[in-house]
Amino acid sequence: MPDGIISLYDLPVGRSGVVSSIHADGLTRRRMMDLGLVPGTMVHALRHSPAGDPKAFKIRGAVIAFRREEAEKVLVEMREERD
């Protein structure tokens, strides 16, 4: 994988990234796309449950939680921190 490209699940809480690609099929892919998770979309990792799964993300103004098996199918390019 190129530098800076990680799975959505590995995006650290408090960091942002841009969706690079989605490697899901069928209904899972359709659900992600319906929620606005398409290449080029900015995503911000908000928090994770005490057990670590699911993890919540801010996507196009909405807070959406994904389980590990779903979030690992989405690749994001991390963005630099800005103050």
d(CA 67, CA 74): 12
CA atoms of 48 and 57, how far apart (whole Å): 9
Give pLDDT tens digits for 27-73. 999 999 998 899 999 999 999 988 878 999 999 999 999 999 999 99
Q: Is the pLDDT at 83 greater than 80, yes or no?
A: no
Q: Which residue has the tokens 């989405």?
A: 74
DSSP 49-66: -TTS-SEEEEETTEEEEE
pTM of this prediction? 0.85
Residue 72 is predicted with a pLDDT of 94
Q: Is the pLDDT of residue 15 over 90?
A: yes
CA end-to-end span of the chain, whole Å? 28
Q: Write the CATH number of the domain with boundaries 5-78.
A: 2.30.30.90
